Amino acid sequence: MDLDLSLDGGALTASLVDIASVSGDEGALAAAIEEALRGLSHLSVHTDGNAVVARTSLGRSERVVLAGHIDTVPVADNLPSHVDGGRLYGCGATDMKSGLAVQLRLAARAVEPCRDVTYVFYDCEEIQAERNGLLRLSRHHPEWLAADFAVLMEPTDGVVEGGCQGTLRADVRVPGERAHSARSWMGRNAIHASARVLEVLNSYLTRQPEVDGLVYREGLNAVNIAGGVAANVIPDSCVITVNYRFAPDRTVGEAAKHVRGIFAGWDVEVTDAAGGARPGLDRAPAAAFLAAVGGTPRAKLGWTDVARFAALGIPAVNYGPGIPEIAHTQGEYVELAQIPECEARMLAWLAS
């Protein structure tokens, strides 16, 4: 399971895809990455569980992090990888082993970068947040992550995606009163009364605020509804679970207050929330990165681990090969041409 970092980015991506690394089972890939990095004398290498961190120590005035998760969603009969029509297919091809290939190629090639670089490879991103390897690293070894700027190499189709939106889930509970369904007028039907909650959602006007020069687009949606006691009973409860995706100009607290205000007539319980991250593209390290890689940046609408860097006080952007929309699909692939292009742009940045 040796990784040959002299292979071109596409071939290296294929090698990475062919070492299966479903969340929680990343040992083989972590070992291969560690071994490949230990062969590079300009890097010091550290590990924590299935996370691997490699750092240059050139005494540069600026340090940047290039980070990527090494796990994938479950294999769906899409291994080993194969190439067809300029595309590499296979589990993790887009999310995000092509990004890892760029990280590894840069680690091998950027021997004397103008910025000190910390390469972070971490586990368990695709599953519940408390197992996230980047979260664990930030608790066990925050000093390993210290930096002025971070690039999370998630698939962005080769365009810089700044910051990320926050996400909040809440249960909106509609009460009722039970009765036998043959005498429905003796009760109050909680499912029928839920129409008003759905009307609130249907008439909700979403914000599209501009934050640090990028336009975000919010959303407030029901992602679950559940009501019913028995087939012959007027139900006394119906719960609508809503998901609020909010722009990074709002904190979690502000988002929660907003949702409670929207559903002021009902019992609202916030069950889950994670703050977003401002893009920070107006700050020096991000601006330099953007100038080097080019293109028109856009807002990241989904939540990503850039929010963890933001929480550590490190501005971060998303940038990498691969198409976000096909992540987690059986047929995911990466356009092979995107990989060396991304690598070349980042290499130019590290040299500038």
The set of catalytic residues is 71, 125
Among 6, 41, 202, 296, binds its own copies (CB under 8 A): 202
Provide the minimum distance between the beta carbon of 290 and its own copies in the complex, in angstroms, as a whole number.
22
Q: Which stretch binds its own copies (CB under 8 A): 153-161, 187-195, 279-287, 289-297?
A: 187-195
Cβ atoms within 10 Å, residue 251: 14
By the 8 A CB rule, do 342 and 158 touch? yes
Provide the minimum distance between the beta carbon of 99 and its own copies in the complex, in angstroms, as a whole number.
19
* Site for its own copies contains 177 (CB under 8 A): no
Closest among 247, 246, 248 to 270, alpha carbons compared: 246
Closest among 123, 1, 127 to 74, alpha carbons compared: 127
* Site for its own copies contains 181 (CB under 8 A): yes
Q: Which stretch binds its own copies (CB under 8 A): 50-58, 67-75, 83-91, 233-241?
A: 233-241
* Site for its own copies contains 303 (CB under 8 A): yes
Spatial distance between the Cα atoms of 340 and 318, rounded to a whole number of angstroms? 17
Q: Which stretch binds its own copies (CB under 8 A): 68-76, 117-125, 137-145, 179-187?
A: 179-187
* Site for its own copies contains 183 (CB under 8 A): yes
Closest among 32, 24, 25 to 52, alpha carbons compared: 32
Provide the minimum distance between the beta carbon of 21 and its own copies in the complex, in angstroms, as a whole number.
22
User: Exposed, middle or buried by CB within 10 Å (0-12, 13-18, 19+), for 193?
Assistant: middle
Spatial distance between the Cα atoms of 225 and 172, rounded to a whole number of angstroms? 9
8-67 binders of its own copies (CB under 8 A): none
List all residues 6 or more positions away from 35 whose beta carbon is below 8 Å from its beta carbon: 2, 3
Number of residues that bind its own copies (CB under 8 A): 44
Q: Which stretch binds its own copies (CB under 8 A): 40-48, 136-144, 220-228, 336-344?
A: 220-228
By the 8 A CB rule, do 166 and 307 touch? yes
Q: Show the tokens assigned to 187.
A: 């009760």
Compare residues 63 and 245 and give the one whose CB is closer to its own copies: 245
Residues in the chain: 352
Q: Show the tokens assigned to 163.
A: 């910051």
Provide the minimum distance between the beta carbon of 268 and its own copies in the complex, in angstroms, as a whole number.
16
Closest among 179, 279, 273 to 233, alpha carbons compared: 179
* Site for its own copies contains 146 (CB under 8 A): no
Among 6, 41, 61, 232, binds its own copies (CB under 8 A): 232
* Site for its own copies contains 76 (CB under 8 A): no
* Site for its own copies contains 222 (CB under 8 A): yes
* Site for its own copies contains 74 (CB under 8 A): no
Query: Residue 51 to residues 81, 133, 191, 305: CA-CA distances in angstroms?
Result: 24, 7, 47, 15
Spatial distance between the Cα atoms of 161 and 302, rounded to a whole number of angstroms? 10
> Residue holding tokens 């929309």?
325
Among 81, 165, 318, 338, binds its own copies (CB under 8 A): 165
Enumerate binding residues for its own copies (CB under 8 A): 165, 167, 169, 180-185, 189, 191-192, 194-195, 198-199, 201-202, 217, 219, 221-235, 238, 240-241, 243, 245, 272, 301-303
